[in-house]
Amino acid sequence: PGEGPVHDEL
Amino acid sequence: MNIFRLAGDMMHLFSIIVLLLKINATRSCRGVSLKTQELYAIVFVCRYLDLFTSFISLYNTTMKLIFLLSTFTIIYWMRFHKVIRVTYDREQDTFRYQFLILPCFLLALVLNNEFSAMEVLWTFSIYLEAVAILPQLVLLQRTNNIDNLTGNYVFLLGSYRALYILNWIYRFMTEPNYRQYLVWISGIVQTIVYIDFFYYYIRSWRNNEKLSLPA
Residue B209 contacts A where some CB pair is shorter than 8 Å: no
- Alpha-carbon distance of B29 to A7, in angstroms, equals 33
- Alpha-carbon distance of B190 to B204, in angstroms, equals 22
Q: Which residue of A has its CA nearest to B66?
A: A10
| B214 to chain A, closest Cα gap in Å | 33
Kindly tell me the burial class for residue B23, based on how many C-beta atoms sit within 10 Å of its own C-beta (0-12, 13-18, 19 or more).
Answer: buried
Q: What local confidence, expressed as pLDDT, does residue A4 receive?
A: 60
Q: What is the pLDDT of residues B63-116, one digit of tens each?
A: 999 999 999 999 999 999 999 999 999 999 999 999 999 999 999 999 999 999
CA distances from B98 to B43, B94, B120, B137 (A): 14, 11, 18, 17
Task: Report DSSP state, residue B162.
Answer: H
Closest CA to B46 of B137, B119, B139, B142: B119
| A4 to chain B, closest Cα gap in Å | 7
Average pLDDT over chain B reads 95
Q: What local confidence, expressed as pLDDT, does residue A1 receive?
A: 42
Q: What local confidence, expressed as pLDDT, does residue B148 receive?
A: 87
Q: What local confidence, expressed as pLDDT, does residue A3 receive?
A: 57
Q: What is the pLDDT of residues B127-149, one digit of tens each?
A: 999 999 999 999 999 987 788 89
Q: What local confidence, expressed as pLDDT, does residue A6 receive?
A: 82
Q: b/e per residue, B96-135, with b = 16+ CB within 10 A?
A: ebeebbeebbebbeeebbeeeebbbbbbbbbbbbbbbbbb
Q: Which residue has the higher pLDDT, A5 or B189?
A: B189
* Chain A residues touching chain B at CB-CB below 8 Å: 3-10
* ipTM of predicted complex: 0.86
Contacting residues for B192 by C-beta, under 8 A, at least 6 apart: none
